[in-house]
Every structure is written in structure tokens, then in C-alpha cells.
Structure 1
Amino acid sequence: MAINLIKLSVGTHDLAGLAKWQTNARAKGPDGNPRHVTRMWPKREAELIDGGSIYWVVKGVLLCRQPILRLDEVRRADGIPRCGIVLKPGLIPVAPTARRPFQGWRYLTPEDAPVDLDPARRDDVPLPPKLSVALAEIGVL
């Protein structure tokens, strides 16, 4: 059974900013797929690569997800092994959900994960994150 990760997207202000960052050469692995490099290796690797996604929190709001393709070992100039979470390109918008700050990443069960937005609405101009959360809390989104 799949498990997901939830991660803060530090330094981005909206989905467009996250998407732009992932086109940067520094955010891509040797195969050209976006990846997020983290210090710790997830202990539940088999569950993550069995259909799991990384859910991105932007400015305190969980806004999108990306399927996890695999985990690669990454060694930088300091020689310390790190985990490269290789992601499927493209962001999948989800129902905006408020999240408090945290460090690192956390596991997110499928039952606790927000639902994907209707594909027909994916091209809508995004609302400000706080407004999206307020509308989702009252059941409008």
C-alpha cells in the first residue's frame, strides 16, 4: 500500500513559483526529472515508490502533489550520501489545506491526503492561498 510525503516548499510563493523552480537545472537529476534532495532516507521506501506522492505546502497551504518515481542516492562535494526523491514532472493541484510549519518531511497516509482538484478546473487562475483555504473549510472548493 502506498504512503505519501508532505514537504514545505521553502522560498516559493505559489504553484507557478514551484513549477518554475523545478525547471531549473539545479532541481533536476541526471535523467532530467525534478528531484528533491534531503538529508534523511525514508524508512518506508517501498511504500513511497508503490504509488506515493510528495505533497507540497506553499506559504502554509498544501496546494499540490507530485508522484514519486524512485529514490536515488546523491553525493555532493562534501561526500555525504543524501536521498534524491525523484518526481514525475508536473504539479497536480489538490484541495487547498492549511498546514502548520514543520521541519523536514512527514509521512501522509492516503486517508489524510487532500483530494485532487477536478481536472476541468486545473487551468483556473489560482486564488490566493489563504482565500483557497477559507473556501475549502466551508466546503466551497
Structure 2
Amino acid sequence: MSDNAKKGNVLKIVIIVLLILVVVGGAAFGGMYFASKKSGTATANTAKVVETNEVTYSLDEFLLNLMDEDGKRYLKVKVFIGYEDNKALTAELEAKKPIIRDVVIATLRAKRTTDFSATGIDSIKNQLIASINPVLTKGKIAHIYFNDILVQ
């Protein structure tokens, strides 16, 4: 082979390698660009914070039996009520705290340990809201918060 033929083959190989690098680099850049655009819009949507003047009221800690077959299952949880800042409702919650605690105890004692799954807890919270709101006359509660939950 002549020197020109060798140089031509080397030149073809260099051009092919450069083309492959440009294509791979372009694909990587495009993938990163579009992936960051998609996650950027999702982050922007979930990062919107709604200003609220919600306050919480503690119903203290509950320790009670659950409705399991063996009868030896316990629930220990701190329950907080979330509602829009309303002095009349705060006073009513304080006055009716024993009644509200009784409603919460009755609702939670009817549950089994399997009810305290990730989706089950949301259902229990909704049920508690629906059970507590009829007791109140000065306003309505919006959220139930569980802190320090322990199912044993």
C-alpha cells in the first residue's frame, strides 16, 4: 500500500470516530436537556406554595386497642386538628375537647392494624374529619395530622 492510501484510510477512520462522538454527544445533550425540562416543569408545579393561615389544635396522645382478631394490637398516636385561624372555633375546640376525643377514640378503635397502610391512613383522616365536623358549630376543620404513630 502506498503512503497516500494509508493516509486516506487513517483520515476516514478519524472522520468516522469524530462523527460517532458528535452523534453520541448530541444524543446525550438532547436527553439531558429534555429530561431537565420535564422535571423542571414538574418541580415548578409541585413547588407552588399556597399561603394559608392554618393553625393546629392538639388532641393530645391516644393509646388504645385495635379491633384485631387476637385483641392484643395497640395504637399510640398524637392527633392534631388543622383549621383556618378562627378564635371562635379555637374556643369551641377547647370546650368540646372531651367530645372530640371520644369521636376519635370510637373511630380509631374500630380499625385493624392493616388499616394503617399508606393509603389507609388518608382514609382514616378523611373519616375523622367527617366525624368531627358535625360536632362543631363555629367552623369546620380541614385536616387531621398524625404525629408519633405507633402500631404494635
TM range (shorter): under 0.3
Query: Which has the higher Rg, Structure 1 or Structure 2?
Result: 2
Q: Answer 1 or 2: higher relative contact order, Cα 8 Å, separation at least 6.
A: 1
Higher helix share: 2
**What TM-score does the superposition give when structure 1 sets the normalisation length?**
0.23
**What TM-score does the superposition give when structure 2 sets the normalisation length?**
0.21
Higher strand share: 1
